[in-house]
Amino acid sequence: MIPVSNESEQRAIQRQALTATTFVEIVDTLVDDFDVIDVLTQLALRSVELLEAAAAGILLADPDGNLRVIGASTEKVGLLELFQIQNDEGPCLDCYNSGAVVSNAGLDDTPSPWPRFAEESVRAGFPSVCAVPLRLKDLVLGCLNLFMSEPVSLSTAEVALAQALADVASIAIVQDQATREAAVREGHLQHALTSRISIEQAKGMISERSHVEMDEAFDRLRSYARNNNRGLTEVAESLVAGTINIDAVWDRRRVPPPPATTPERRAQS
Amino acid sequence: MRFTVAFARAVATPASGWCSACVDVLDVSGAGITMMSGGQTGPLCVSSKRMANLEDLQFTMGEGPCRDAYASGRPVHAPRFDAGIFARWPAFVEQARDSGIGGVFAYPMSSNGAKIGVLTLYQDLEGELTSGQHQDSRVMAGVLAETMLSMQDNAPLGVLADGLQDAVAYRAEIHQASGMVSIQLQVPVAEALVRIRAHAFASGIPVGAVAAEIVARRLRLSDDRQELAEGV
ipTM (interface pTM)? 0.76
Q: What's the confidence (pLDDT) of residue A265?
A: 41
d(CA A39, CA A44): 9
Q: Check: CB of residue B202 under 8 Å from CB of residue B196.
A: no
A245 touching B (Cβ < 8 Å): no
Q: Do B215 and A204 touch (CB under 8 A)?
A: yes
pLDDT tens digits, residue range A161-208?
999 999 989 988 888 888 888 888 888 888 888 888 899 999 999 999
Q: What's the confidence (pLDDT) of residue A263?
A: 44
Going by C-alpha positions, the residue among A68, A65, A64, A19 that lies closest to residue A168 is: A19
d(CA B19, CA B21): 5
Amino acid at A134: L
Q: Do A192 and B115 touch (CB under 8 A)?
A: no
Q: What's the confidence (pLDDT) of residue A3?
A: 54
Q: Check: CB of residue B200 under 8 Å from CB of residue B207.
A: yes
Summarize the confidence of residues A237-259 as an average pLDDT: 72
| pLDDT higher than 80, residue A72 | yes
Which residues of chain A have a CB within 8 Å of the CB of B179? 200-208, 240
- What is the DSSP secondary structure assignment for residue B44, as one 8-state letter? E
Taking the CB of residue B21, how many other CB atoms lie within 10 A of it? Answer: 22
Give the best residue of B165, B183, B191, B196 to mutate against chain A (max A CB count within 10 A). B183
Print pLDDT tens along chain B (232 aa): 566 666 666 666 667 778 888 898 899 999 999 888 765 566 778 888 888 888 888 877 778 999 899 989 999 999 999 999 999 999 899 999 999 999 999 999 988 888 889 999 999 999 999 999 999 999 999 988 988 888 888 888 878 888 887 777 767 899 999 999 999 999 999 899 889 988 988 888 888 889 999 999 999 987 655 444 444 4
CB interface of A with B, residues 127-186, below 8 Å: 178-179, 181-183, 185-186
Q: What's the confidence (pLDDT) of residue B63?
A: 87
Give the best residue of B34, B174, B176 to mutate against chain A (max A CB count within 10 A). B176
Which residues of chain A have a CB within 8 Å of the CB of B35? 193
d(CA A56, CA A58): 7
For residue B28, CA distances in Å to A13, B39, B133, B151, B176 come to 55, 28, 9, 26, 34
Question: Under 8 Å CB-to-CB from A184, ≥6 apart: which residues?
Answer: none
Question: Under 8 Å CB-to-CB from B203, ≥6 apart: which residues?
Answer: B210
d(CA B158, CA B111): 20
d(CA A153, CA B171): 68
Taking the CB of residue B203, how many other CB atoms lie within 10 A of it? Answer: 12
pLDDT over 90 for what percent of chain A? 34
pLDDT tens digits, residue range A97-112?
999 999 877 777 778 8
Strands B30-37 and B40-46: antiparallel
Q: What's the confidence (pLDDT) of residue A105?
A: 73
Q: Check: CB of residue A127 under 8 Å from CB of residue A151.
A: yes
Q: Check: CB of residue A19 under 8 Å from CB of residue A50.
A: yes
- Which segment of A118-122, A176-180, A211-215, A251-255 scores lowest on mean pLDDT? A251-255
Q: What's the confidence (pLDDT) of residue B13?
A: 66
What are the residues facing A103 on neighbouring strands?
A130
Please give the order of strands across the beta sheet that includes B114-123.
Answer: B40-46, B30-37, B114-123, B103-111, B76-78
Q: Do B114 and A208 touch (CB under 8 A)?
A: no
Give the best residue of B111, B152, B223 to mutate against chain A (max A CB count within 10 A). B152
Q: What's the confidence (pLDDT) of residue A267?
A: 41
pLDDT tens digits, residue range A114-159?
888 888 888 888 989 999 999 988 889 999 999 999 888 888 889 9
d(CA B193, CA B171): 12
Distance from CA of A175 to the nearest CA of B (A): 8
| pLDDT higher than 70, residue A1 | no
**At CB < 8 A and 24+ separation, what contacts does B22-28 make?**
B22/B47, B22/B119, B22/B121, B22/B140, B23/B47, B25/B136, B25/B140, B26/B121, B26/B133, B26/B136, B26/B137, B26/B140, B27/B133, B28/B105, B28/B121, B28/B122, B28/B123, B28/B129, B28/B133
pLDDT tens digits, residue range A6-40?
777 887 788 888 888 888 887 777 776 778 888 89
